[in-house]
Structure 1
Amino acid sequence: MSESEKYRIKVEAVAEFVPGQSDPDEDRYVFAYHITLTNTGSATAQLISRHWIITDGAGKVQEVRGLGVIGEQPLLAPGQQFTYSSGSVLETPVGTMQGSYQMVAEDGQRFDAEIPPFVLAMPRVLH
C-alpha cells in the first residue's frame, strides 16, 4: 500500500445562506457550512489544526488558522466519519472557501487533508 493510500481523508462541504443573520444593507452575508471528513485511508488519524482561505466576491481574502474544529480534535479510525457545522461572514453575497486540515496519524506521520473549494452564495445571485 502506498503512503498516499495510507493517509487519506476525504472532505465534503455543503454551504447555505443564513438570511436571518444577514443584513445586505450593511454588507453582511452570513453562511453556514457543514463539513464531513471521512478517513478513507488505512491509518487512524487525528485532526490537529485547520487553515481556511476565504475569498469574497470582491477578491478580499481572509486566512484563518487554528487548532481543531469547533473546539474538537477528532480522531478518525479507518472508515470513520466526523461531521460538524460552522459559519462564515462575508461582505459580498458570493464567495468561496477552501483550505486544509493538518492531520497526524497514529504512527506520527503528519499530512494535510485538502478542503476542495466550495461556493458561498446568496440564493438567486448565481445563475
Structure 2
Amino acid sequence: MLSNVAQKRAMYSATTHGIRVTVEPQYMEDESDPVEARFFWAYTVEIENGSTGPVQIIARDWTITDQTGAVESVKGLGVVGEQPVIEPGSSFSYTSGCPLKTPSGFMVGTYQAVGSEGEVFTIEIPAFSLDLPDTRRVLH
C-alpha cells in the first residue's frame, strides 16, 4: 500500500564568509541495485551569496566515506562543468550524484572560490548522510 505522505528528506547547511551552502540528498532506488552492492544518491546543492560582492566557484573537493570506512576523494574544477559567478543576493543550484557500494555513508567537502577583489578562499560544504530511507540514521 502506497502512502500519500511524502517522505521527509534531510537538508544540511553551512555558512562560510557569507556564502550559505545547503545540500539535500535523495536515495535513487531506481538507479540502485542492492544485490549488486550499488546504492545511488542524488544530491541537490544550493549556493547562496549573502556577501557584499560577487563570488565565483572555481573548484570542488569532496570526501566520500562509505559505511565500511572506505574513503574516496573527488577533486575538480567548478561544479557540474561550470564555474558560476554568483552575485550578491543570488544563488546557484545544481544536482549531482554519488554511487556507494554500501547502503550508507556520508559526504563532506569544500569549494574554492574567488571574490570580487581576486582573493581566493574556501567555502565549507556541510557533512551530510547518505542513508537508505527506511534506515535509522546513525552518526558516522
| TM-score normalised per structure 1 | 0.92
Structure 1 segments, 4+ long, off by >3 Å, are none
Equivalent in the alignment of 2:32: 22
Give yes or no for the alignment of 1:108 onto 2:118: yes
Distance 2:65 2:111 in 1: 18
Equivalent in the alignment of 2:45: 35
Q: Which runs of 5+ in 2 are unaligned?
A: 1-16
Counting matched residue pairs gives 122
1:1-127 → structure 2 map (5 Å cutoff): 7-127=17-137
Q: Deviations over 1:28-70 (max 9, x none)?
A: 0000000000011112110000000111111111110000111
Distance 1:61 1:113 in 2: 21
Q: Which runs of 5+ in 1 are unaligned?
A: 1-6
Q: Percent identity?
A: 42
Q: Give the residue type in structure 1 aligned to 2:52.
A: S
Distance 2:46 2:83 in 1: 14
| TM-score normalised per structure 2 | 0.84
Q: Give the residue type in structure 2 aligned to 1:95.
A: G
Shift of 1:123: 1.4
Distance 1:80 1:58 in 2: 39
Contact 1:48 1:104 in 2 (8 A): yes
Q: Deviations over 1:62-117 (max 9, x none)?
A: 11000011111110111110000000000111111110000001211111110010
What RMSD in Å do the two structures reach over aligned CA positions? Answer: 1.3
Distance 1:77 1:12 in 2: 17
Q: Which region of structure 1 is more displaced relative to structure 2, 47-56 or 7-16? A: 7-16
Distance 2:110 2:100 in 1: 20
